[in-house]
């Protein structure tokens, strides 16, 4: 029989003297996690980290660790604010400043304003997250009235640097609306002394010289989709003529010649079929001269989840795909060919620098509303692009208002925004607050809702948690096992390869 009383007593805190066996250092707040059978990681709230041998943390906490036993490790722990030689660290103000810098993306509020300029599209990609409509249905284009109202709201953002992104459907099917929106937005930005940049998301099937002349004149960035080699791209991204790949490659080439290589980027989406070809997908990007690739899973939103044979796979399958792809990218770098993986690069910026990231999914508080807002083609306003995708399935949980009907305060500070904000800080979520990887991760109440039915979520079964925890762990393991990996990773966030 178990002695319940005895078992309970062992769970009590030890006497203070137990933790004061040495006066050589003081413990600062930290978290820890096992990376593998040989290495553990210690992190603090600003993302400083120290990799330590297995079982060292017990020695550290009980203060059996002696400075002279490993002086390099001792000062590594000091410089990364894991321990201090004084009760209050002498460089506490430095720690405060770095934490403030990490959260500085909150200083100016929403920057990215997405205008879904048309729902029309001539592609029928099976993983598309929104319901596509055929080209001749003009009523699925954003009206000039809603464009005007969206620009009015955008100009009310306190952020001095704005981005106006045009999405679809296929945005170029409503190019006349893009021309109007860009010209109107630039006029209003000048009045408000705002800096504004523009992005067009397009499959490039409709790109032509006239469009590119306008794009070049207004310094617009082009973002397109490239899923990999021709056979894979055409199977994922179907269109009449089965020539999506050919049009995309020709479009990329034309954009580069007229706009410059740095003005066109590409994104891939990992379908069920893609899982078999991580190396081939990376090879395609390298062969086309791209210096980066984003190994991106299918998002479980809207209509993308209604084709399980082509779109469903377990997160463990994606992680195997991601790891093989990442290792292949590292091999390219070791051969002197620079190419970075975008998701890892975002995480590495959080790991190695004190600066914030603009990627919505890895922000805490979450980037929804704080960094991004979406104006749909019909004037409805959503908390993020993913929120808009959920609405296409007739679930309007994240609709914040409507252009022309609701004012700025109602949309950004109304009851719906407050409801979302209750679950968007990973510092206060069970399962996140005590996680060693919390400083590098984010919070995603919209994904929680889409996959688990509520905004708060449940970390043990969360695909967001499983994906990020394993990718972060794998990155640290690569750093711990090969110094060259760390050098390459740092080159991804500096843009300089030594």
pLDDT per residue as tens digits for the range 434-457: 999 999 999 999 999 999 999 999
With a cut of 60, say whether residue 482 has pLDDT above it. yes
Across 341-370, average pLDDT? 94
Instruction: Take residue 209 and report the two structure tokens written for it.
Output: 């010289």
* Position 2 pLDDT exceeds 50: no
Residue 375, H or E segment = strand 372-375
Residues belonging to the chain: 498
On the CB side of 82, CA atoms within 13 Å amount to 24
pLDDT digits (tens, 9 = 90+) for 323-354: 999 999 999 999 999 999 999 999 999 999 99
Question: For the whole model, what pTM was predicted?
Answer: 0.91
Confidence of residue 240 (pLDDT cuts 50, 70, 90): confident
* Residue entry with tokens 């006029």: 187
At residue 241, the pLDDT reads: 77
What percent of the chain stands above pLDDT 90?
81
Residue 138 has pLDDT above 80, yes or no: no
Mean pLDDT of the chain: 90
In angstroms, how far is CA 387 from the centroid of its own chain? 15
Closest CA to 150 of 369, 383, 376: 376
In this structure, the number of other CB atoms found within 10 A of the CB of residue 389 comes to 26
Measure the CA–CA gap between 451 and 444, rounded to whole angstroms. 11
SS3 of 199, please? strand
Which residue did the predictor score with more confidence, 18 or 158? 158
Q: Is the pLDDT of residue 60 over 70?
A: yes
Return the exposure string of 190-219: e unless at least 16 CB atoms fall within 10 Å of the residue's CB, then b: eeeebebbbbbbbbbbebeeebbebbeebe
Record the tokens describing residue 86, joined without a space: 């004084």
The answer to whether residue 251 scores a pLDDT higher than 60 is yes
Residue 21, pLDDT above cutoff 80: no
- pLDDT for 400 beyond 80: yes
Assess whether pLDDT exceeds 70 at residue 484: yes
Question: Which residues, 6 or more positions from 463, have their beta carbon under 8 angstroms from its beta carbon?
Answer: 300, 315, 447, 451
> What pLDDT shows up at residue 11?
62
* C-beta neighbour count of 309 within 10 angstroms: 7
Intra-chain end-to-end CA distance of the chain, in Å: 64
Residue 135 has pLDDT above 90, yes or no: no
Lowest average pLDDT, out of 11-25, 36-50, 60-74, 275-289, goes to: 11-25
Q: Give the model's confidence band at 139: pLDDT under 50 very low, under 70 low, under 90 confident, else very high.
A: confident
Answer whether residue 242 shows pLDDT above 70.
Answer: yes
* All structural domains of the chain: 22-87 (no CATH), 107-416 (3.20.20.70), 423-481 (no CATH)
Weakest mean pLDDT among 119-123, 126-130, 303-307, 351-355: 303-307
| CA distance linking residue 365 with residue 103, whole number of Å | 8
pLDDT score of 495: 74
Dump pLDDT digits (tens) for 465-479: 999 999 999 999 999
Q: What are phi and psi of 133, to 5 degrees?
A: -125, 160
Tokens of 304: 């993308």
Q: pLDDT-based confidence at 308, cuts 50/70/90?
A: low
CB 372 within 8 A of CB 114: yes
DSSP letter at 197 equals: E
Judged against a pLDDT cut of 90, whether residue 243 lies above it is answered with no
Quick one: CA torsion of 441, 444, 450, 454, rounded to 10 degrees? 110
DSSP 7-19: HHHHTSPPPGGGG
Q: Which residues contact 474 (CB under 8 A, 6 or more apart)?
A: 323, 326
Could you tell me the pLDDT band of residue 223, with boundaries at 50, 70 and 90? very high
Joined together, the tokens standing for residue 354 give: 């004190």
Q: What is the mean pLDDT of residues 365-377?
A: 95
Residue range 17-22: mean pLDDT, rounded: 59
Q: How many C-beta atoms surround the C-beta of residue 72 within 10 A?
A: 7
């Amino acid at each position: 029989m178990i002695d319940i009383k005895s078992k309970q007593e062992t769970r009590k805190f030890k006497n203070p003297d137990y933790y004061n066996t040495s006066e050589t250092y003081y413990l600062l707040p930290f978290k820890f996690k096992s990376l593998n059978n040989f290495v553990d990681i210690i992190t603090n709230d600003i993302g400083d980290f120290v990799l330590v041998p297995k079982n060292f943390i017990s020695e550290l906490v009980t203060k059996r660790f002696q400075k002279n036993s490993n002086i390099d490790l001792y000062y590594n722990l000091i410089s990364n604010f894991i321990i201090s030689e004084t009760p209050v660290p002498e460089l506490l103000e430095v720690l405060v400043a770095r934490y403030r810098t990490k959260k500085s993306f909150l200083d100016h509020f929403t920057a990215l304003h997405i205008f879904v300029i048309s729902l029309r599209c001539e592609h029928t990609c099976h993983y598309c997250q929104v319901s596509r409509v055929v080209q001749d249905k003009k009523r699925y284009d954003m009206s000039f009235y809603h464009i005007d109202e969206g620009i009015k709201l955008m100009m009310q953002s306190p952020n001095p640097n704005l981005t106006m992104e045009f999405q679809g459907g296929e945005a170029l099917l409503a190019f006349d609306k893009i021309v109007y929106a860009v010209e109107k937005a630039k006029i209003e930005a000048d009045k408000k002394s705002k800096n504004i940049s523009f992005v067009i998301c397009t499959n490039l099937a409709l790109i032509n010289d006239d469009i590119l002349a306008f794009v070049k004149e207004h310094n617009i960035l082009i973002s397109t989709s490239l899923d990999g080699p021709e056979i894979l791209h055409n199977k994922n991204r179907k269109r009449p003529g089965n020539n999506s790949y050919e049009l995309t490659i020709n479009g990329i080439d034309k954009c580069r010649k007229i706009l410059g290589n740095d003005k066109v980027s590409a994104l891939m989406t990992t379908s069920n079929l893609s899982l078999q070809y991580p190396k081939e997908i990376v090879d395609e990007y390298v062969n086309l001269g791209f210096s980066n690739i984003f190994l991106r899973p299918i998002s479980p939103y809207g209509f993308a989840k209604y084709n399980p044979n082509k779109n469903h796979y377990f997160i463990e399958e994606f992680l195997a795909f991601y790891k093989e792809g990442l290792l292949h990218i590292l091999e390219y770098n070791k051969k002197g060919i620079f190419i970075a993986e975008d998701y890892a690069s975002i995480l590495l910026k959080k790991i190695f620098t004190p600066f914030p990231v603009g990627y919505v999914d890895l922000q805490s508080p979450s980037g929804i509303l704080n960094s991004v807002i979406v104006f749909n083609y019909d004037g409805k306003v959503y908390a993020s692009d993913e929120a808009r995708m959920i609405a296409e399935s007739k679930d309007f949980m994240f609709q914040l208002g409507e252009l022309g009907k609701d004012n700025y305060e109602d949309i950004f500070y109304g009851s719906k925004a407050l409801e979302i904000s209750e679950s968007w800080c990973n510092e206060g979520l069970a399962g996140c607050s005590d996680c060693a990887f919390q400083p590098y991760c984010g919070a995603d109440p919209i994904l929680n809702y889409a996959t688990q039915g509520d905004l708060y979520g449940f970390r043990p079964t969360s695909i967001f948690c499983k994906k990020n925890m394993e990718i972060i762990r794998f990155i640290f393991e690569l750093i711990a096992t090969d110094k060259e990996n760390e050098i390459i990773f740092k080159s991804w966030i500096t843009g300089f390869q030594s």
